[in-house]
Amino acid sequence: MKGVILAGGSGTRLHPLTRITNKHLLPLYDRPMVTYAVEALVGAGIDELMLVTGGTHAGEFFRLLGNGHDYGIERLFYGYQEEAGGIADALGLAERFVARDKVCVLLADNIFERSLQPIVENFERQPAGARIVLSEVAEEEHLRHLGVAVMAGDRVTAIVEKPESPPSRFAVTGIYFYDAQVWEVLPTLEPSGRGELEITDVNNWYVGRGEMEADVVDGFWGDAGESIEAYYEVNDFVRGTRG
């Protein structure tokens, strides 16, 4: 399985911090945010990675990570997104790297308390389709700003973005697993109202075919790029567990 870390985007929700650097290079406790994403995938047994970024600070990722060997990466590739076209657009840049392997896609501002290895192993055993990772979120107001899974028992029947009335307490985190069908789906996507190719459309394609599986993650999950408040919440968690 290959891993793709997405570290692009304009980071407007973290202005003014992101006026001077890419948000994924901001510190979480004692090191840059993106290194936690690298650690999460390498710790789960994925050591062939591609990092996709963009903007004027792209070169700083190479200065930080180099060839990746210091971080336990066997092979590290880089991709450059010319403009902010959405998560699905950024993933499309990794097609030649991934080839026809299964792929784990991780948004670099997502921080997980628990190891991702059991979920990676679940997907390795899955014969086809896709897999998402859910986190139970208690606050309804928070759910209104996230992608939320519509559930029928343990089965995901749809994913709704930023619902006014959340259909469940299960938020979709920023880690996704796909088989080779994803490269057939991406070219069919139409830009959303904000002019981007949405990863939720990819996920709902798999849901519609009955080929989407899901895991509910234990422990803390946070999206450090969601807002300034979320950034400092994640920072406090990391400091408390690693300090």
Query: What are the pLDDT digits (tens) for 129-160?
Result: 999 999 999 999 999 999 999 999 888 999 99
β-strand pairing of 130-136 with 221-223: unpaired
Helix (H, G, I), strand (E, B) or coil at 139: coil
The predicted pLDDT at position 179 comes to 98
pLDDT over 70 at 243, yes or no: no
d(CA 3, CA 18) in angstroms, rounded, equals 25
pLDDT at 72: 97
CA distance 28 to 185: 35
**Structure-block tokens of residue 60:** 């700083």
67 exposure class (CB count in 10 Å sphere: 0-12, 13-18, 19+): exposed
What is each CA distance from 208 to 129, 157, 202, in whole angstroms?
11, 8, 10
Average pLDDT of every residue of the chain: 95
- 135 CB neighbour count, 10 Å cutoff: 21
- Does position 84 have pLDDT exceeding 90, yes or no? no
Average pLDDT (174-188) is 97
d(CA 198, CA 187): 12
Question: What does the pLDDT average to over 27-33?
Answer: 96
What is the model's pLDDT at position 154?
84
Q: Is the peptide bond before 16 cis (omega within 30 degrees of 0)?
A: yes
Average pLDDT over residues 201-205: 96
Task: Provide mean pLDDT across the span 177-206.
Answer: 94
Check if the beta carbon of residue 89 is closer than 8 Å to that of residue 196.
yes
How confident is the model at residue 15, as a pLDDT? 87
Mean pLDDT score, 174-201: 94
Q: What is the mean pLDDT of residues 115-138?
A: 97
Mean pLDDT to the nearest integer, 151-178: 95
Q: Grade residue 19 by pLDDT with cuts at 50, 70 and 90.
A: confident
* Mean pLDDT across 190-215: 93
| Mean pLDDT, residues 97-102 | 96
* CB burial string 105-134: b at 16+ within 10 A, e below: bbbbbbbbeeebeebbeebeeeeebbbbbb
Q: Is residue 202 within 8 Å of residue 103, measured between CB atoms?
A: no
Quote the domain boundaries for residue 157. Answer: 2-242
Q: Which two tokens stand for residue 12?
A: 């407007």
Collapse the DSSP code of 233 into the 3-class scheme (helix H, G, I; strand E, B; otherwise coil) and give the result: helix
Number of domains in the chain: 1
Percent of the chain surpassing pLDDT 70: 100
Return the sign of the alpha-carbon dihedral for residues 42, 48, 54, 56: positive
Calpha distance 46→43 (Å, rounded): 7
By three-state DSSP, how is residue 234 classified? helix
CATH number, domain containing residue 6: 3.90.550.10
Q: Identify residue 33 by its one-letter amino acid code.
A: M
Evaluated on CA atoms 216, 23, 200, 230, the torsion sign reads positive
Mean pLDDT check: name the lowest of 86-90, 94-98, 179-183: 86-90
Tens-digit pLDDT profile for residues 214-241: 999 999 999 999 999 999 999 999 999 9
